[in-house]
Structures are given as C-alpha cells and as structure tokens.
Amino acid sequence: MGPTAGLIGYGAVGGAVARMIQDGAAGPASLVAIVVRDPRRHDEDQARLGIPFVSDAADVVALCPDVVLEAGGHDAFRQHVPGLLSAGIDVIAISVGALADPELLAEVERAAASGGSRLRIPSGAIAALDAISAAAVLGLDRVVHSVRKPPNTLLDADEAAEVIRSGEPRVLYAGPARAATKLFPANVNVVGAVSLAGIGFDRTEVRVIADPSVRHNTHEVEIEGDFGRLQVRIENIPSDENPKTGRIVPASLVRALRGLSEHVLVGA
C-alpha cells in the first residue's frame, strides 16, 4: 500500500498530475480526492477517475491522506493550504509565488508549526533548487533570475503581435522578485521558489522578458556567493493545455509524491 494524496486544482497541471498518478508514474501512490471550485462541472471526470471531486479541503482532511498536492493557483493556495497544514497534513505546492505576501508566509509557518506538518516546494519549472538552498547556507551575494517567454504567453494579442513584428525582446519588468510575483502571478511561481531557496523576495533580482526568438518558456538563474558561482538555464516545452506553464511542472509534483515511497531519494 503506497502513500495516499489529495490534489488541489484540476487545470492544465492538476489534470496532468491526476493522469500521471493513475498511470503509475508516482509508484504505488494513489489519489483520494480532488479539490476544485465547482465539483458539479467534473461529473464525467469523477466517474472516469473514480475519485471524489470536492470544493472544500476539509473533505480531504476527513480522508486522512498522507499528503496534498497543490496545483490550483494563488487563490486556492491561500484558501486551502494553511488549513491543511494546521490539520497536520503535509502539502507539496507549486503556487508559491503567493508566499511573496509576508502575512501569508507567516500564516503558513504558524499553521505548519501548530499542525506538526511541512510545506514542501518541488523544483517545478526550474532546476537546482537544492544547490541554491545549499549555497545559501554559506551565504549568497547576488541572485538574478531572468524569465524569457514567447510574447503571447506574457502579453495580450495586440501587444504580442507588436513585439513579434519588431523581432526584438521586450523587458516587461526588472526589479525585486516580490513585485514580479504580483505582476505576473500565472507566469513566475518559479521566481517564488528561487527566492525562497536563496536570499528572499526583496534581494532576488528578476527580469521578465517577452522574447520572440524563444519557443520555450526559459529560465536563467545566476547566483554568486561564498560557495562560488552557479548558472542554471532551463527551456521548458509549454503545456498543450496552458502555454504559460511547462510540461515539467506536473512531473515535478508527481516525482515529489513518488519520493514518499522510495528508499533511495536523489536530490532530497
């Protein structure tokens, strides 16, 4: 018997996560319930998966899962994650740009402390979070995170067409990570993960660029500190369902879930 999991969200990421778990990509793990805004819209999905769709995370708590995977966006994170942590249930979350709100971060920390639980942040659309967090132990001087995406994933149709016609990249934002996560909540959750792993939302420098020369969602992170210097670049193929997110994101959640049943875990 493997670990049991709840799931928050059934959009591009959540739907892919559910399918991958059903197909065995998470090893012996299984889903017990999926939290969505309106379960009535998912009658066919519920029948196909054989899993209840609910609107309240309290219904998931009643099923006592080992963990809950969050893929529902910032509002769903705020609504459900603190309560799950308070109830003693670990959460693996990707909508961590929401934690740019210091009050929410403090609430999450209090909830986890009171419930004896943990919030885990997987790599999502980036790589080397383990190396960044290890380097932070020694001390970091600078973290720069550049996000390059096709214009139509960052701009409305008219503006995207204008950038494409120009053939030149357009810098949409340059500044601290905290503001970036608020301006581009659907695009830069990965910035939140890098900030939390490294030197925080206020010291992490972010550039968001609409670039007609890139076909994939591209993240470049440069960090400098007492450990040395690290450069990371990842080019994510966009999801077919939602070009604002990469195919690797649901795989990251599924990999984290699979790790709960593995005896040898790499990158922990």
pLDDT at residue 119 greater than cutoff 70: yes
User: Which helix (DSSP H) or strand (DSSP E) does residue 144 occupy?
Assistant: strand 140-149
pLDDT in tens, 198-257: 999 999 999 999 999 999 989 999 999 999 999 999 998 877 777 667 789 999 999 999
> Which tokens go with 200?
């925080």
Q: 117 with 88: CB under 8 angstroms?
A: yes
Say whether 116 sits in a helix, a strand or coil: coil
Tell me what the mean pLDDT of segment 32-49 comes to. 95
Spatial separation of the C-alpha atoms in residues 139 and 85, rounded to whole Å: 30
pLDDT at residue 268 greater than cutoff 80: no
Q: 267 with 13: CB under 8 angstroms?
A: no
Q: 153 with 243: CB under 8 angstroms?
A: yes
pLDDT in tens, 52-91: 999 999 999 999 999 999 999 999 999 999 999 999 999 9
Is residue 216 annotated as a catalytic residue, yes or no?
no
> Which tokens go with 261?
């049943």
Question: Closest by alpha carbon to 255, among 239, 266, 244?
Answer: 266
Residue type, 239: S
> One of 42, 216, 219, 263 is an active-site residue; which one?
219
Say whether 147 sits in a helix, a strand or coil: strand
Give the pLDDT score at 181. 86
Residues in the chain: 268
CA distances from 69 to 36, 65, 148, 242 (A): 13, 10, 27, 19
Q: 176 with 130: CB under 8 angstroms?
A: no
Spatial separation of the C-alpha atoms in residues 101 and 165, rounded to whole Å: 37
Spatial separation of the C-alpha atoms in residues 253 and 123, rounded to whole Å: 8
Residue 27 binned pLDDT confidence (cut-offs 50, 70, 90): very high
- Of residues 265 and 136, more confidently modeled: 136
Task: Name the pTM for this structure.
Answer: 0.92
Give the pLDDT score at 132. 96
% of the chain surpassing 90 pLDDT: 86
> 32: burial class by Cβ within 10 Å (0-12, 13-18, 19+)?
middle
Give the pLDDT score at 88. 98
Where do the H-state alpha helices sit in the chain? Answer: 12-22, 43-49, 57-61, 74-86, 102-115, 129-138, 157-166, 177-183, 189-197, 248-258
**How do beta strands 205-210 and 140-149 pair?**
parallel
